[in-house]
Amino acid sequence: MSKQDFYTILGVERSASTADIKKAYRKLAMQYHPDKNPGDKSAEEKFKEITQAYEVLSDEKKRAQYDQYGHSQYTNMGQGGGHPDMDDIFHNFGDIFETMFGGAAQGGPRRKNASGPTPQRGHDILQQVTISLKESYKGAGQVRYQKGFFAFAQECPGCHGQGFTVKNPCSSCKGQTRKQEYETITVTIPAGVHDGAELHVSGKGDAGLYNGPAGSLIIRVQVIADKKFSRSGNDLISSLRLTYPQLVFGAQVEIENIDGTKETIKVPKGCQIGEKITIQDKGFAKIRSTGKGNLIIIVDCDIPTKLSSEQKDALKNYAE
């Protein structure tokens, strides 16, 4: 194995892009390819050297390891075993040579049926949806999205899903085996969904490359705060302002829940400000189990700002 680092071998800067690295490799491979240098052992060794450099620098993970740990990990691989075998070179990079030479290169064994580039899973797509606390309580039903922001896989008639032709890349899909399409996606927001929850829709993300599987569509839910109600776990919280006589003598009061349904609650005699009245199973649905949380009413006192003479006298007498 050469002691030169791989960037020097390919003649590129350490900041070079993957496209620049591939371009440099193609140029050098054309120059030192065994077909163009029959019987030249030095050209063959150089060809192995640049191919080894390209194999590392064209792979993101291998390149990151190389940048971190340096060239020594390759110079210390043992005596005589550092270079890749020629059969492996033609097997692993046959598609590049086919493009360069207009068909199967003559320097070594070929794959009988080239399957094209390795399939790659599409990226996940993150989309945020904003709903009210009421919709979180009831469920938002079906939310529709126009899929103008990501593609879905469809076999290209120009290359039949392979991403390449024998001599030239497919002009219809640009060699990616996918085309931009538009689709309407309908997503159901379940009752009881929490703020920050993520809903995954498999196969509805970015289309895969080279017939790889599509990614997922991830719906992140944002729940807007409500003026009257709030949430604590699976419990729905609200406050109720009562008159002083209602607190003292007790009462039956009809209230409206967040979904518009009516509930009648019994206020006990001598009810204190801040006391909690619980209505069972009227809170949020439990997503990962059965049942619901509770509706919790926090009692407050509605203190009047204007009193009649009779009311003032009554309060004075009570105070005495």
Answer whether 6-101 and 125-224 agree in fold. Answer: no
Task: Give Cβ neighbours of residue 129 (< 8 Å, ≥ 6 apart).
Answer: 140, 143, 187, 189, 219, 220, 221, 222
**Confidence band of 178 (pLDDT split at 50, 70, 90):** low
Give the DSSP per-residue string, 134-171: HHHHH--EEEEEE--SS-B----TTTTTSS--SSS--T
Name the pTM for this structure: 0.53
pLDDT reading at 285 higher than 80: yes
Q: What is the pLDDT averaged over residues 156-172?
A: 51
pLDDT reading at 222 higher than 90: yes
Q: How far apart are the first and last CA of the chain?
A: 103
Alpha-helical (H) ranges within 133-263 are 133-138, 244-249
Q: What is the pLDDT averaged over residues 196-211?
A: 84
- Per-domain residue ranges of the chain: 6-101, 125-224, 229-319
Structurally, at CATH architecture level, domain 6-101 sits in Orthogonal Bundle (1.10)
Tokens 């990501």, residue located:
150
Per DSSP (E only), the strands in the chain are 125-132, 141-146, 184-189, 198-201, 217-224, 229-232, 235-242, 251-256, 262-267, 276-279, 295-301
What is the reported pLDDT for 205?
80
Tokens 């469809």, residue located:
154
Cross-strand bridge partners of residue 230 = 237
CATH of domain 125-224: 2.60.260.20
Correct CATH for 229-319 of 2.60.260.20, 3.30.70.890, 3.40.640.10, 3.30.465.10: 2.60.260.20
Residue 280, CA atoms < 13 Å, CB-side half-sphere: 1
